[in-house]
A and B are shown apart, each in its own frame.
Chain A
Amino acid sequence: MAESPMVVRAEFVREVKDSAYGVVEKPLTTAEKVWNNDAFRKGLLLAAMLVIWQLYAAWLNNPLLFPKFSDTFAAFYEGIKSGVLPQRGWSSVKVLVQGYGIGLALAALLTAFAITSRLGTDLLETLTAMFNPLPAIALLPLALLWFGLGNASLVFVIVHSVLWAVALNTHSGFLSVSQTLRMVGRNYGLSGLGYVTKILIPAAFPSILTGMKIGWAFAWRTLIAAELVFGVSSGSGGLGWFIYENKNQLDIPNVFAGLFSVIIIGLVVENLIFRQMEKITVRRWGMQS
């Protein structure tokens, strides 16, 4: 094969002037900014769904099966105004917070035991393998037998639904803390509780937060389902019981209003509390984008 000749070019050095270029940075237009807003786009989707709901229900014209959005909203508004819905929601949330708190505390204990000893790790792994797949609702008959008809039974099943998810996530978060960060912590002479609270927990915070979110969702579902299936457990009863009652009275708009409340509380916790926690912790630290 013939060798191709090298191309010889002249060298050049250029004077770079800083005036020739046009725009380096230009603010986005208002329309672009609005479209970039997550809440706006999601709100638009939501509005579209509501319109479809309203049109379909009007066309179906069967309020017993599928009430119109306007009827549901009216029932919801009535419920809020009369104070029934907030009161039912509050009694649900109260039980939930108790169960969630106890679940988190137990999960903390269990993972603390698991990271300090090998036997603890074995215990955690065995327990989560056994109980994590077990639906909390399946334990409710037993809980009613042990704790009677009352909030204690509900708290028990909520603890069960929170504990394993949180413990599992926290533990795997601790395991994945980088070796370098561990060595840095020990370099400062940290050990024991100081090492766990100042190094391990913040470093594992993304996983811990995920565990808490999953645990919360499990707990909320479990609570509503438990109320729905087994009915009233205390004097007033929560949102699940509200839905159940109204179904029995064929007051379907109120059933929808109850569901609506369940969704809204879920959204509020997810978007306000957890989103805010993420914003001031893991996102700010660049540990999650």
Chain B
Amino acid sequence: MNEGVVTPAQAPVPPLLEVRGVTLQYKTRDHLVTAAYRVDFDVYRSDRFVILGPSGCGKSTLLKAVGGYMKPVEGSMLLNGAEIGRPGADRVMVFQEFDQLLPWKTVKQNVAFALTSSGKLGAREAEARALHYIDKVNLTRFADSYPHTLSGGMKQRVAIARGMAMEPAILLMDEPFAALDALTRRKMQDELLQLWQDTRFTVMFVTHSIPEAVLLGNRILLLSPHPGQVKAELNSDGTDPVGADGKPLSARIHELLFAQTVEEENVPHG
């Protein structure tokens, strides 16, 4: 995975996604919640950019904002130099929930419908491309099945096929494997990496699992909780390498994420 490595200074192209000083707030019934505070990061083309943090660090909210589902109260988010204003087919979301497929459409229709209703392709090309990507996730046999007849892992594969068929500028994945059992999750992670090897799409991946982040990401953004702020950005090559301090990457991440809570716990009470 080391071919064609460049540093940002040498980069011939600007970042695909630039996030600058973004603060995100949303309202619940009784509170105004600040989910992320002045977050900066860049995502380059073909990145497997992982956002990692404990629950409550605003990682899903951040992804939703990139998806265009909410507007930052301050800061800017530029995709290919254009401000992100609303949801669009150039940023396709893959959700954690199994109900993200339209139950009234078959697997093939689900993928093709995304292409036709976003105006990307006509009906015939959409079907051809849908079948191509369904084949990529090994679901050809189930192309004409309705989603309720599929297992959770298969549904997520359809959602991924749908996302990839759209060939978006950036694929946004919100803990897509979190609701799967451990064996299926492991298999899906390998499949995702294989797919990335084939087409080198750009993906932003939200997770709260350190091993998943280390395995899938080439760049890992660590967020601290309440509200989410950037704690670190680390590189990964999927092998959990031992760093200069003699610790594997996952152990470093673990310390970075949990050091704060340990400090807080050590504060004497009263």
Residues of A at the B interface (CB closer than 8 Å) are 178, 180-181, 183-184, 186-190, 194, 198-199, 202-203, 205, 281, 284-287
Contact = CB atoms under 8 A, between A and B. Distances in A.
Contacts of B113: 188, 198
Contacts of B103: 203, 285-287
Interface stretch (B8-16, B42-50, B88-96): B88-96
B148 to A, nearest CB: 3
Contacts of B91: 187
Nearest to B116: A188
Contacts of A205: 104
Nearest to B119: A189
A202 B146 CA distance: 14
B149 interface: yes
B117 A187 contact: no
Given A187-B67, A202-B102, A286-B149, A180 B117 contact: no
Given A187-B67, A188-B118, A198-B117, A181 B87 contact: no
Contacts of A284: 146
Nearest to B115: A188
Contact of A180 (B86, B99, B147, B148): B99
Nearest to B168: A187
B114 interface: yes
Q: Is the interface of A mostly helix, strand, loop or mixed?
A: helix
B146 to A, nearest CB: 6
Contacts of A188: 89, 113-114, 117-118
A178 B96 CA distance: 13
Q: On chain B, which size bracket covers the interface?
A: 20 to 34
B89 A187 contact: yes
B117 A181 contact: no
Contacts of A184: 93, 95, 100, 102
A286 B146 contact: yes
Contact of A202 (B88, B104, B119): B104
Interface in B73-128: 86-89, 91-93, 95, 97, 99-100, 102-104, 113-114, 117-119
A218 B113 CA distance: 37
A189 to B, nearest CB: 5
Given A178-B99, A181-B99, A189 B89 contact: yes
B93 A187 contact: yes
A205 B104 CA distance: 10
B97 A180 contact: yes
Given A285-B104, A287-B103, 13 more contacts: A180-B99, A181-B99, A183-B87, A186-B86, A187-B87, A187-B91, A187-B92, A189-B118, A202-B104, A203-B102, A203-B103, A284-B146, A286-B148
Contacts of B118: 188-189
Q: Which of B67, B87, B91, B93 has the most CB of A within 10 A?
A: B87
Nearest to B96: A180
28 contacts: A178-B97, A178-B99, A180-B97, A181-B99, A181-B100, A181-B102, A183-B87, A183-B93, A184-B93, A184-B95, A186-B69, A186-B87, A187-B87, A187-B89, A187-B91, A188-B117, A188-B118, A189-B88, A189-B89, A189-B119, A198-B113, A198-B117, A199-B102, A205-B104, A281-B104, A285-B103, A285-B146, A286-B148
A255 B92 CA distance: 64
Contacts of B69: 183, 186
Contacts of B87: 183, 186-187, 189
Interface string B40-78: 000000000000000000000000000101000000000
Nearest to B110: A184
